[in-house]
Amino acid sequence: MRESILSLDEKKLLNIPLVDKPFRAKQIIKSIYKNRIFDFASMTDMPKSLREYLTTNFTILNIKPIKKLESTDGTIKFLFKLTDDNYVESVYLKDKNNRITFCISTQSGCRMGCKFCKTGEMGLKKNLDFTEILSQILYLAQIMDEDQTVVDTAFNIVFMGMGEPLDNFENVTKSIKILNLKDFFDIKESRITISTSGLLDKIPLLYENFPSIKLAVSLITANQKKREEIMPIAKKFTIQQIFDILIKCYQKYQNRITLEYVLIKGFNMSDDDIKDLEIFNNKAFHLNLIPLNHNDNKIQRPEEKEIKLFQQKLENKGFTVTRRYRRGDDIKADCGQLYWDNTKDL
Ligand code: SF4
């Protein structure tokens, strides 16, 4: 099988026969990352012999789009097939000011088993290689280039698609390093969000590498017993440990942390739940309320009036709170809805 050329950095590109000068390596990088050309034959500023050599020996993107769903709100979800026949989904999000965010998967499936998330039902199929992560970003960047409504092409990336990013630490951090490089994507760390279920052992290392990155931790409840019921990871890392590690990171990097709080009817929205949350009522944290997207017979989304009342009570207590509004709900592109079984009706 041909290797993806995305796995080669500038130095390694120079080892390719016919890439005889540094400017040739730069030309390849520019064609792929800046001009979003994904077939070597179209890189007409390079000699034909080199284009032919690259076509024979390398691929560029190593994911294949097989399904595209467009929401009435402008969100687009893509299902990609990987070379090993696994699947991932990625989402192209546009806000009301036409600013673009890519929601990227880091694993096919996930082994964390959070009960409010469809991806968790899949179990882990595989960790994505960093080239498969970059391929999703490049593909969505090309969609953005073709989108006439986009005025600002500086996009944001949220690693909130399928998978627990910190469970695939090496590939995720490798892809972030490439995102940062000037000749590649040139994306600032502060435009990248890592969303984790709380793999605390990896968080200090993440900040050491990327001190300005945005971190979002799925807290869901600040009650230890309840968290254990709904998130298996809670048995490994307690609420107190989450607080201790996050507050230390905040003190060191002064980078505010988002706590994701999925609102589940009758589970985490009482006055006692607000009392449990008090430990996080601190300028280090920002609470993001996410009304449950994935209803089933066990857990339900709360009514609108319950959501508003809960938010109001938190604000009255002095919490910094925002609410995440639904995006792409009609195409199951919202948080916690990505699921390989979407291939069923292909
Ligand atoms: S919420 Fe995230 S970590 Fe939990 S099962 Fe879903 S994808 Fe995995």
Helix spans in the chain (H): 10-13, 22-29, 48-57, 118-122, 130-146, 169-180, 203-209, 224-230, 239-253, 271-277, 304-316
Please check whether residues 97 and 144 belong to one and the same domain: yes
pLDDT in tens, 215-260: 999 999 999 999 999 999 999 999 999 999 999 999 999 999 999 9
Q: Tell me which residue of 307, 28, 324 sits closest to 184, measured CA to CA.
A: 28
How many CA within 13 A on the CB side of residue 167?
A: 24
Q: Are residues 201 and 317 in the same domain?
A: yes
pLDDT the model gives residue 1:
82
d(C-alpha 241, C-alpha 200), whole Å: 8
The pair of three-digit structure tokens given for residue 153, joined into one six-digit string: 């092409």
CB atoms near residue 275 (< 10 Å):
12
Residue to mutate (ligand 1; options 118, 197, 335; most atoms within 8 A of CB)? 197
Q: Based on the number of CB atoms within 10 Å of its own CB, is 293 exposed (0-12), middle (13-18) or buried (19 or more)?
A: buried
* Whether residue 148 sits in one domain with residue 228: yes
Domain of residue 164 covers 63-343
Among 59, 79, 101, the domain boundary falls at 59
Domain boundary among 38, 59, 80: 59
| pLDDT for the residue 293 | 80
How many Cβ atoms sit within 10 Å of the Cβ of residue 197?
A: 24
17: domain CATH number is 1.10.150.530
Helix (H) or strand (E) run with residue 107 in it: strand 107-109
- CA separation (Å) from 191 to 78, 143, 201, 259? 22, 19, 23, 17
Check whether residue 191 and residue 112 sit in a common domain: yes
Nearest CA to ligand 1 atom 7: 163
206 and 312 housed in the same domain = yes
Total of domains in the chain: 2
pLDDT attached to residue 334: 62
Query: Is 27:16 a contact under the CB 8 Å cutoff?
Result: no
Residue 88 φ then ψ, to 5°: -140, 160
Residues 335, 324 contacting (CB under 8 angstroms) = yes
Range with the lowest mean pLDDT among 16-20, 264-268, 322-326, 329-333? 329-333
Q: Please tell me whether residues 90 and 187 are part of one structural domain.
A: yes
Same domain, residue pair 138 and 87: yes
Residue 14 sits in the same domain as residue 113: no
Pocket test for ligand 1, best of 90, 91, 112, 118 (most atoms within 8 A of CB): 112
Per-residue pLDDT at 342 exceeds 80: no
Residue 231 contacts residue 223 (beta carbons within 8 Å)? no
Separation of alpha carbons 164 and 127, rounded Å = 9
Pair 99, 247 in one domain: yes
Residues 24 and 168 in one domain: no
- Domain match, 166 and 266 both: yes
Give residue 298's pLDDT.
Answer: 79
Give yes or no for residue 24 having a pLDDT over 70: yes
pLDDT attached to residue 336: 64
Catalytic one among 10, 89, 146, 229? Answer: 89
Give the confidence band of 153 by pLDDT, cuts at 50, 70, 90. confident
Does residue 342 line the site of ligand 1, with CB under 6 A?
Answer: no
The answer to whether residues 259 and 283 belong to one domain is yes
With cut-offs at 50, 70 and 90, classify the pLDDT of residue 335.
low
The enclosing domain of 75 has a CATH number of 3.20.20.70
Pair of tokens at residue 78: 């893509």
Per the CB < 8 A criterion, the answer to whether 48 and 27 are in contact is no
Confidence band, pLDDT 50/70/90 cuts, at residue 294: low
Residue 248 has what pLDDT? Answer: 98
Residue 231 CA to ligand 1 centre (angstroms): 9
